Structure 1
């Protein structure tokens, strides 16, 4: 089983257990890129904290994919600005 398979299965299991609506779609790359930017631009422990805060903020805005993308963009920009030499590969 590949990492992508494991992550897809985990995401499906967790979203079901958390009561997400049927058909919920997650842009996993947005979340993983955000975690990378926070980990490298701020500090490793900032990755889970940042992704949680972005998810919460996106939920407050309405929880759409656009809300997630917008809040992730703000957080990534701030994280990368702290350490511009750590920008994504």
Structure 2
């Protein structure tokens, strides 16, 4: 059984219809594990999924939320007073304004 089979079976068991960009999720989990702490990896993946579900779950929404989480993880080793200063809401596009044409979906194809 490969990872794609696992994802398909897990979605069936959880009774969800979801497209998963496993590369994006795994890269974010790896970053969280290395920049924050190992237990941050599954928690980050869970919270990304939860936030994505709350926001409608479109692939462009997932990518934007993952980018925000990635930026936080990358800044995690900085002093608390500078942590996240690059995460200003003014600098980030609104989720509903994202254009799916700008998303690289090549990693989703087999």
TM (norm. structure 2) is 0.66
Cα RMSD (Å) of the superposition?
Answer: 1.5
Tell me what 1:55 maps to: 49
1:6-48 deviation line (CA, Å, top 9, x unaligned): 2111101001111122xx4211110001101100110000000
Q: Which has the higher helix share?
A: 1
Gaps of 5+ in 2: 79-110
- Structure with higher RCO (Cα < 8 A, 6+ apart): 1
Gaps of 5+ in 1: 85-89
Q: How many residues align?
A: 78
**Structure 1: 4+ residue segments shifted above 4 A:** none
